[in-house]
Chain A
Amino acid sequence: MTPRSPGEGPVSRRNFLRNGARVAALTGVGAVVGTLVHRTSSQTTVWQIDPLKCLRCGRCATECVLDQSAVKCVHSYDLCGYCELCTGYFVPEPNALNTGAENQLCPTGAIQRKYIEDPYYEYTIDEALCIGCGKCVEGCSRFGNGSLYLQVRQHLCLNCSECAIGRVCPGDAFRRVPVSQPYLLKTSH
């Protein structure tokens, strides 16, 4: 503020310096904002997994900052073969092709198997149970059509500045995508 006692040379000198510094700082901030403003997107970006790069390492289940990972398995039904012997559903060499827990690959029994018509079965992920471990994805990608794959579920994801999974993802599969197209879905075409 204005000096309140007489003979305050240094004070007004400092005020002068301070004003100068403020103008300089405002210019600086203005320059940064000006440089970036047309580079910003009014569209926020969100994290997503590129299913073509995911190596099904299992870290998606464990590294998310959330207790329950924001990554879950999704199913592109139009790619699915509706196989009776689903390699995403069954452990290798299952005792029987039924829903017995010992036959299932999924550690939480999150995949539902439903008979449609001979010989086709539909597999649906119960996302409340899925922990995003990618075991089914590995089975499906390796020996099936690859219709099961992992995606960041955007209603769960906190959209951290730096995705905790992305930074340790061995496949370097995480990337930012525009919020208007927040999924990298596989389709048949």
Chain B
Amino acid sequence: MDLDIESGVEAPLSKRWLWPAFLALAIVWVCGGTAALGEARFPPPEFESGHALPLTATPSPRSLAMQHVDVAALVGALGLACYLVHRRRSRRGIIALSLFSLIYFGFYREGCICAIGAVQNVALALCDASYALPMTVLVFFFAPLVVALFAGRTFCAAVCPHGALQDLVLIKPVKVPAWLDHALSVVPFLFLGAGLAFAATGSAFIICRYDPFVPLFRLTGSATLLTLGGLFVLASLFIGRPYCRFLCPYGALLRLAALASKWRVRITPDFCTQCRLCEEACPYGAIREPALTSTTPPVLVPARRRLGRLLLLLPVALFVGGWVGSKLSVPFSKVHPTVALAERYADPNKPTVMPIPATPDSLALGRAERDAPQLVAAAVDIRRRFVLSGWLFGGWTVLVVFAKLIGLSVRPDRTDFEPDRGACVACARCFMACPNERVRLGLLPASAIPTRPGPGLGTGPTAAGTKRD
């Protein structure tokens, strides 16, 4: 830090420090123009008593080896979760693993390192070559995703501390109406888009900043966030996983991955007798009923038409969405501290005299003053990047909404009661609702299995609700 930086605040402040010695010193300093820091204004003494200088203590961060423990815990927990869901089919095991994850990744690691936030680090690393992405973060980003591509959302089931917390406190689930569920399930995708846009421009990690549970894990944080966390926990008592279903941006990614999963979570261990006993077992509204095999034209044709119209409309809507997004980039870019500072600096109404004592704001303005051209250039550059991410974010929003609508118009392909691949978080709750499962576990005699209805699949009462989702 050299002279001009200091002199910006020198004059007004010196009024408070009127000791002649210091004043003289300050003058020497201002005129001298030497670097202020590390400079011995008062030369370090030579001690006659041979006094030894103490060392400046530099306590180390958490040991590096612990990172490997984190990664091992993640991989181990993921593997175990897959085993418990697909092989052991054990809700009890899932509860035990959830408890472990809640304690280790939640309260011990204080919600950081976390797969949810890792998306942003990855986005930033992709857009900013100078950002060194920690290896651990990369593993936390991709391991749950790859697992979801094969085994569904087993990460959500029992590895994610956020999910575990909400899952474990759920005592009396109430059903969220289907329309509301569908509408709100779009939100995580938008949050994901916004999180990526802000992270990629290097402005903010909003997913971390507004995480409601991390302050609870840390047992400290801003009052607003702690309250928000408390509210979410309260809601989780009655609404199954409100954060996972209606907010979590990583959940959105996992949902997509799980849609393409190789093995899906199965309610019944072998075959479905369509006894409907599991129908209401899922607190997350993920169980879908079987579809008709022969759909009568009156139902199909309007749906097809709607699909066609949606597809035709899509390009126009994408463009409009992108355009609106790019227009929003100007206000949004103010989230970036550099842009915000440049704006304040360019503001004609900004205060001209330095307040005494200096405020953080005035200090920042002082800094802006000192290298204004550089600041403005940086801000312009950041805003340009915001325009691009505005286009992408706008387009993404439209795409998500359309994908939801198209998904609603597509004929379901189920022949049995099945969990929706994307929505199911593999909690294993519904397994025990199935009499086949109980027979498998020896809790019921084989004769207790209700007989499978005749070959006319979908001719039963289920037919009426086929188009429900």
Contacts and interface: CB of A to CB of B under 8 A. Distances in A.
A22 B13 CA distance: 64
Interface stretch (B121-129, B157-165, B428-436): B121-129
B138 A75 contact: no
B411 interface: yes
Contacts of B60: 154-155, 182
A169 to B, nearest CB: 8
Contacts of B179: none
Contacts of B51: 116-117, 120, 122
B324 interface: no
Given A3-B415, A40-B132, A21 B259 contact: yes
Contacts of A170: 360-361, 363-364, 367
B382 to A, nearest CB: 13
Contact of B25 (A37, A45, A143): A143
Given A39-B125, A40-B133, A162 B205 contact: yes
Interface string A79-106: 1111100010000110000000000000
Interface in A142-166: 142-146, 153-155, 157-162
B38 A29 contact: no
Contacts of A171: 363-364, 367
A179 interface: yes
A7 B38 contact: no
A76 to B, nearest CB: 6
A120 B50 CA distance: 12
Given A42-B135, A162-B205, A162-B209, A18 B259 contact: yes
Nearest to B150: A22
Interface in B192-219: 204-205, 208-209, 215, 218
B132 A41 contact: yes
Contact of A92 (B19, B38, B337, B359): B19
B53 A167 contact: no
A187 B40 CA distance: 11
B245 interface: no
Contacts of A36: 122, 125-126, 133, 138
Contacts of A187: 38
Q: Size class of B's contact patch?
A: 35 or more
A161 B44 contact: no
A123 to B, nearest CB: 10
A113 interface: no
A51 interface: yes
Q: Which of B13, B57, B61, B358 has the most CB of A within 10 A?
A: B61
B456 to A, nearest CB: 11
Contacts of A122: 51, 54
Contacts of B266: 1
Interface stretch (B141-149, B325-333, B345-353): B141-149
A55 B138 contact: no
B257 A25 contact: yes
Interface string B100-142: 0000000000101000010011100110010011111110001
Interface in A27-56: 29, 32-33, 35-37, 39-46, 51-53, 55
Contacts of B256: 25
A152 B457 CA distance: 66
A78 B337 CA distance: 35
B364 A182 contact: no
A19 B61 CA distance: 44
B262 interface: yes
A39 B128 CA distance: 10
Contacts of B13: 142
Interface residues of A, number: 87
Interface in B240-255: none
A4 B271 contact: yes
B44 A188 contact: yes
A143 B363 CA distance: 18
A19 B1 CA distance: 59
Interface string B36-67: 11111111110111010111111111101001
A81 B37 contact: no
B436 to A, nearest CB: 13
A143 B26 contact: yes
B221 interface: yes
Contact of A22 (B149, B222, B338): B149
A45 to B, nearest CB: 6
Contacts of A1: 263-264, 266
B45 A22 contact: no
A40 B138 contact: yes
12 contacts: A1-B264, A25-B149, A32-B122, A36-B133, A51-B37, A78-B53, A92-B19, A122-B54, A141-B36, A146-B36, A161-B205, A168-B337
Interface of B: 1, 6, 13, 16-19, 22, 25-26, 36-45, 47-49, 51, 53-62, 64, 67, 110, 112, 117, 120-122, 125-126, 129, 132-138, 142, 145-146, 149-150, 204-205, 208-209, 215, 218, 220-222, 256-257, 259-264, 266, 271, 293, 337-338, 358-361, 363-364, 366-367, 411, 413, 415-416, 457
Interface of A: 1, 3-5, 7-8, 10-11, 14, 18-19, 21-22, 25-26, 29, 32-33, 35-37, 39-46, 51-53, 55, 57-59, 65-67, 74-83, 87, 92-93, 116-117, 120, 122, 124, 127, 141-146, 153-155, 157-162, 167-168, 170-172, 176, 178-179, 182-183, 185-188
Ordered nearest first, which 5 A-B pairs have the shortest CB separation?
A: A81-B42, A170-B364, A154-B61, A162-B205, A155-B59
Given A36-B122, A117-B47, A143-B25, 10 more contacts: A29-B142, A43-B134, A55-B358, A74-B57, A81-B40, A146-B36, A154-B60, A157-B61, A161-B205, A162-B205
